[in-house]
Structure 1
Amino acid sequence: MSAMAWWLLIFVGLYWSYCIFWGIKGALWARTASDYFVAGRQVSMWVFMLAATATSFSGWTFVGHPGLIYVDGLQYAYASFYAITIPFTGMVFLKRQWMIGKRWGYVTPGEMFSDYFRSESIRMLILVVALIFAVPYLGIQLRASGFLFNVLTDGALGVEVGMWLLSAVVLFYVASGGLRAVAYVDAMQCVLLMIGISAIGVIALYYAGGWVDFTRGIAAVAEWDLLNQGAGHRSGSLTPAGHSGYVAVPGVIQWVPGAGAAAGGVWTGMMNLTYMFALMGIMASPAFTMWAFSNTNPRPFAPQQTWMSSFGIGFILFVFTAIQAQAGHILGANTDLAKDVFDPQYEETLGQYRDLFETRQDAVLQRGLIATQNPDLSFEEVDRRIEAGLQALRDGEDPEAAGWVDLVRDGGGDGALVPQLLGMLQATAPWLAALLAVCALAAMQSTGAAYMSTTSGMFTRDLLKRYLMPNVTHKVQVFAGRLLVTALVIAALMVATFTTDALVLLGGLAVAVGTQMWVPLAAICFFPWITRAGAVLGLAVGVIAVLMTENIGINVVSGFGIEVPWGRWPWTIHAAGWGIILNIGVAVAVSAVTQNREEYEHRMTFHNFLREHAALPESKRHLIPIGWIIVVAWFFFGSGPGMVIGNWLFGHPNDPTTWWVFGMPSIWVWQLIFWVLGVAMMWFCCYKLEMSTVPEKEIEILFDEDAGVDRGATARS
């Protein structure tokens, strides 16, 4: 076995030992259903801060996100604002859900919503949402882990084989220990995720020749895009304003039937904003309601949302992930040949050295990496190996030559970037490559584990206990939860094995469906006038709208002979955006005509309690309008239509000589500025507006099945 394989076995063994330890310990601790499904409501502050962060930012953040920036350019890097927008959803809803769950002893969101709306239909809808979210999302993580280990073992471990093997330990600790085991393993996974992304970014910057050569390389990529009319960019064209799509957003909105027809890339201001809506669906999903219920108190919410996620993960994404992506194009900028071409002081015009750039492009992008790993080779031999590898790819053969391949041009796609970066280390630092591979594995398993645990809890409580076995014991509930975890993992593995082409589409569908939970969450936390009919019909219509603006729904109706006049994401608005717009519209309209005095008074039982315990003190109420202004302004300019100003404010995107003092394109500077402003926004809302702080007034518990407390809680059905 190679040195890399030995190191991989050692680090994977250590990681799995930690997982198995917490699986066993959690199993010994879980005596009641509450212990197993919501960790006895005793998750500690630091464990929640780390675990909730790991659940929010999965293997997609580790592998897929830098890959998409690499393929689509810095216009997609605005998606890194999900480090702020995901916890923003938590800031709005988690504290109030925790308070309701604490008072009435809820274990699942289905119990909470069905009691609030006096509706069994919404309980079933939430189960559907949870299932749609869990299976494909888990499938993506498991398949990505199999793909990663397939690359790192040079194909010795097949993708499907690796996927099934790597899922075995996840299944063990989740099924054995429940949410408590998930929380403690997720805490370690969060640390590994942050270390891994940061380390790969530093390594990519090193191989790119340091900061100066790195920034020259960004200029060269954008100039190459201009020279070839966008041929180096996945969109295949420049933006409507004539800028390189790699360093500019292609406008506020484009009135096209499907985002695939957009000029200069799909990531317009409206696409970025509504894509943020989709990712905000992660903390609106039913799984995070159970995370909220699992806490002793809301004390961890504010630091997790402000510092751990918005500040910590945000810094990593806007700096190290962006470096990984851009270095993928410019590796080789530390060679003499590359410096000649990338030199910003080059006196010739673009037109005069276009031919030089074209003929030397492959060597520029790949020579440096091969020369670094093979210092004994001459430049001529390096060039020969590059050409041999590219020719093998063109012929559909396995390229035996060890060399960097520009994945955009040669078919690897966004998912192959990070494995390629890890592969660079196999010859020079196999132990580091193996450690970072385990970091990636931990990131991929963190989100899946949480959804496995919470979804099994929902089906056990909302289906088995509610309808099939109302008097079921705690022991049977825990046993049923373990069986359901196993069933979920098998279902996810089957989906990942047999629907590989649709898997990413299903994962995108999952988060967009999660966004549709905003309306029922807003109803129970803030707006008592939203009725049962409004919430149920709005949620149903929102889910249908998501399906019909994704390829899956369009293809289904097409199979019945119905051809819709739009494609995926019409008008460059994400499916989550279309879903939530129609969801809100239907919920408001239906609520207006279905008001019932008795039902309203019942819902006010919850809202009177929240107003008593969660309302902002009179001395701070003048801050509410300020908060609204800050939030709306940040979403508009930071992750919405106003982001187009960032294309040129700090230098023209077509002229690298005008770029900012550190050699960074204007769009990247704009993103960093609004990341800092976003952290400030979260601090203001979480702490000053007390959206995530501990309530001052003690909460009287009306129902607790574990403690045998039942004080005649009128809200319980």
Structure 2
Amino acid sequence: QWMLSRKFGYITPGEMYYDYYKSDTIRVISVLVTFFIAIPLLAVFFGATGYLVNILTDGYISRELSMWVISIIVLFYVTRGGFKSIVTVGVVQSWLYFLTVIILGIIVYSYVGNIEIFGKALSKVASTTVSSSGNTNGYGGGDYNSYFALPGAIQWVAGLGKNEAVGGPWTAMMIFTFTISFMGIVLSPSFSMWSYSVKHPKAFSYYQIWGSAVIVGLLLFVFTTFQGIGASLLGANADFNNNGLSIKTILSEVSNKDHSLIIYHIISLMDKHALWLTGLLAVGLIAALQSTAAALLMTSGSIITRDLYKAYVNKNISWEKERAAARIIMMLIFLASLYIATFAKPAMVIFSGISISIAFQFLIVLLGLVWFP
């Protein structure tokens, strides 16, 4: 994609698809996918930001008020500053996010004790049948606690919600397909468009391999995993508490449906010890949400402007008017996202999941363009 954009001057993926396949249909589909990805995902990011502020202030500031205020700030610097402001702010926010993940992991580790205590606690849990899905009952090579083993490569069931798989739904095939479906985020026009902004191919090796794969991978597999498992051993898991498997009970119990609340409870542990750290962690989480939202808002507005408005409505539009049209479209996307986040929360969750899977269909389009011409 990057080489083609450099050679032929593409600005959006839709322009590239149209030029190669000579198909208006693919171009329009890329616009529709962009639209249906941007609005629900932005609604999730904006809503999560408001919810974070609401939780950390003990309900003093409402979710809706904080969501609208912070998101309006994002809209302002996206529409006024453009790509440069987004990249500059995004770099700062990314470091805040990295620091937040590391500190949260260290906080949990400090309350757990050390690796030896952590390992013994896990071995104690593994010797029981206490888990959200029970034991694997022969699937996966033995009768193991489902927290520590996959329930086989694949299981045939009537469907999710109709009957449960033995040992839980997370078979090897379920994990594989779930992971693959999330590639839709990278394949979506809104995110793949960012590859066109790179000046030199060395950036891909430095940031994609060492930055995304190594550094972010380390954070996710070490610190984030420790946060989730460690929190369960510190009182967040009711089953562990009832069966005497917790190391301490300093966190509030969190149900499986509300597992995202664990992060907020971990942050609140610092209220009595280092209030400034609570603020720093909150800012780090907000930064992670808003940096992604800003990038998505910018590219979505640009794609709809160039691949729909400029291509089919006003082909001879000047750069100044095109920029103004992009800002208006960004504002409309912004308002639609906030409306869903405020008044249609169930739809926000449902459509955000569906949109990612829809974007994955662009894998075929990209394979045909890059590898199988």
TM-score (norm 1): 0.49
Aligned counterpart, 1:115: 19
> Is the contact made by 2:137 and 2:166 (CA closer than 8 Å) also made in structure 1?
yes
User: 1:412 Cα deviation (Å)?
Assistant: 6.3
Q: Which residue of structure 2 lines up, in the alignment, with residue 221 of structure 1? A: 125
AA in 2 matched with 1:423: S
Q: Does 1:316 align with 2:211?
A: no
Note closer, same or farther for the CA distance 1:478–1:209 as it changes in structure 2 (3 Å cut).
same
Please tell me the residue identity of whatever aligns with 1:406. Answer: E
Please tell me the residue identity of whatever aligns with 2:175.
N
Distance 1:251 1:431 in 2: 46
Note if contact 1:366-1:405 (Cα within 8 Å) is conserved in structure 2: no
- Is 1:361 the counterpart of 2:244? The answer is yes
The Cα RMSD (Å) is 2.0
- 1:122 partner letter: I
User: Could you list the runs of 5+ residues in structure 2 that have no partner in the other structure?
Assistant: none
- How far apart are 1:279 and its partner, in Å? 1.6
Do 1:221 and 1:330's aligned partners in 2 also have CA atoms closer than 8 Å?
Answer: no
Change in CA separation of 1:222 and 1:474 when aligned onto 2, cut-off 3 Å: same
Counterparts in 2 of 1:84-99, with a 5 A limit? 97-99=1-3
Q: Distance in 1 between matches of 2:189 and 2:316?
A: 24
1:517: how far off?
A: 0.6
Question: How many Å separate the matches in 1 of 2:288 and 2:232?
Answer: 25
Code of the residue aligned with 2:135 in structure 1: it is L
Deviation at 1:466, TM superposition (A): 1.0
Secondary structure of 2:29's counterpart equals: helix
Structure 1 pair 412–359 and aligned structure 2 pair: CA distance change class (3 A): closer
Q: Report how far residue 289 of structure 1 moved.
A: 3.1
1:140/1:496 contact within 8 Å kept: yes
In 2, the alpha carbon distance for the partners of 1:427 and 1:524 equals: 57
Q: Is the 8 A contact 1:329 1:365 kept in 2?
A: no
Aligned counterparts of 2:10 and 2:90: Cα–Cα separation in 1: 23
- Matching residue of 2:342: 497
Could you tell me whether the CA contact under 8 Å between 2:235 and 2:241 is conserved in 1? no
* Rg larger in structure: 1
Equivalent residue letter for 1:470: K
Distance 2:95 2:288 in 1: 9
Q: Tell me which of 225, 248, 257 is aligned to 2:158.
A: 257
What is the aligned partner in structure 2 of residue 458 from structure 1? 303
d(CA) in 1 for partners of 2:241, 2:298: 53
8 A Cα contact 2:235 2:252, kept in partner = no
Q: What SS does structure 2 have at the residue aligned with 1:407? A: coil
Partner of 1:125: 29
Aligned to 1:266: 169
Matches within 5 A, 1:136-175: 136-175=40-79
- Structure 2 partner of 1:563: none
2:341–2:348: 8 Å Cα contact kept in structure 1?
A: yes
- Structural mapping, 1:677-692, within 5 Å: none
User: 2:191–2:296: 8 Å Cα contact kept in structure 1?
Assistant: no
Is 1:292 equivalent to 2:139 in the alignment?
no
Q: How many Å separate the matches in 2 of 1:206 and 1:176? A: 43
Give the equivalent residue in structure 1 for 2:109.
205
Query: Is the counterpart of residue 448 in structure 1 residue 293 in structure 2?
Result: yes
3-state DSSP of counterpart to 1:361: coil
Alignment of 1:303-342 (within 5 A): 303-331=206-234
Task: Determine the C-alpha separation between the residues in 1 that align with 2:309 and 2:347.
Answer: 31
Gaps of 5+ in 1: 1-96, 334-356, 370-403, 529-717
| Deviation per residue, 1:364-393 (Å, 9 max, x gap) | 4654x3xxxxxxxxxxxxxxxxxxxxxxxx
Matching residue within 81, 102, 118 for 1:177: 81
Q: How many Å separate the matches in 1 of 2:159 and 2:62?
A: 36
Q: CA deviation at 1:274?
A: 0.9
Q: Which moved more, 1:250-259 or 1:306-315?
A: 250-259
The aligned amino acid for 1:283 is V
How far 1:259 moved relative to its partner? Answer: 3.5
AA aligned to 1:295 is V
Q: 1:115 Cα deviation (Å)?
A: 1.3
Kindly indicate whether residue 351 of structure 2 is the aligned counterpart of residue 506 of structure 1. Answer: yes
Q: Measure, in 1, the Cα distance between the counterparts of 2:244 and 2:347.
A: 34
Match runs of 1:280-679 below 5 Å: 280-331=183-234, 361=244, 364=246, 366-367=248-249, 369=250, 404-408=251-255, 413-528=258-373
Query: What's the CA shift string for 1:405-438, capped at 9, x where partnerless?
Result: 2213xx7621101001001111111100110110
How many angstroms apart in 1 are the aligned matches of 2:64 and 2:339? 10
Provide the rounded CA distance (Å) in 1 between the counterparts of 2:90 and 2:217: 19
Work out the CA distance in 2 between the residues paired with 1:253 and 1:446.
37
**Separation of aligned partners in 2, 1:262 and 1:492:** 36
Higher relative contact order (CA 8 A, sep 6+): 2
CA distance in 2, matches of 1:211, 1:240: 29
Measured after TM superposition, the shift of residue 482 of structure 1 is 0.9
CA 1:481 to 1:184, structure 2 compared with 1: closer, same or farther past 3 Å? Answer: same
Q: Identity over aligned residues, as a percent?
A: 35
Give the aligned residue type for 2:6: K
Q: Which amino acid aligns with 1:172?
A: F
| Cα separation, 2, equivalents of 1:453 and 1:521 | 22
Report the CA distance shift for 1:205/1:467 in structure 2 as closer, same or farther (over 3 A).
Answer: same
Contact 1:221–1:329 (CA under 8 A) maintained in structure 2: no
Q: How far is 1:113 from its partner?
A: 0.7
Question: In the aligned structure 2, how far is the partner of 1:454 from the partner of 1:507?
Answer: 17
CA distance in 2, matches of 1:440, 1:221: 31
Q: CA deviation at 1:185?
A: 1.3
- Cα 1:118/1:358, change in 2 over 3 Å: closer
Deviations 1:527-575 (A, max 9, x none): 12xxxxxxxxxxxxxxxxxxxxxxxxxxxxxxxxxxxxxxxxxxxxxxx
Aligned length: 364
Q: 1:359 to 1:484 in 2, by over 3 A?
A: closer
- Residue 146 (structure 2) pairs with residue 245 (structure 1): yes
What CA deviation, in whole Å up to 9, does each residue of 1:218-238 have, x standing for no partner? 2333345x1xxx4x41x3x32
1:104 corresponds to 2:5: no
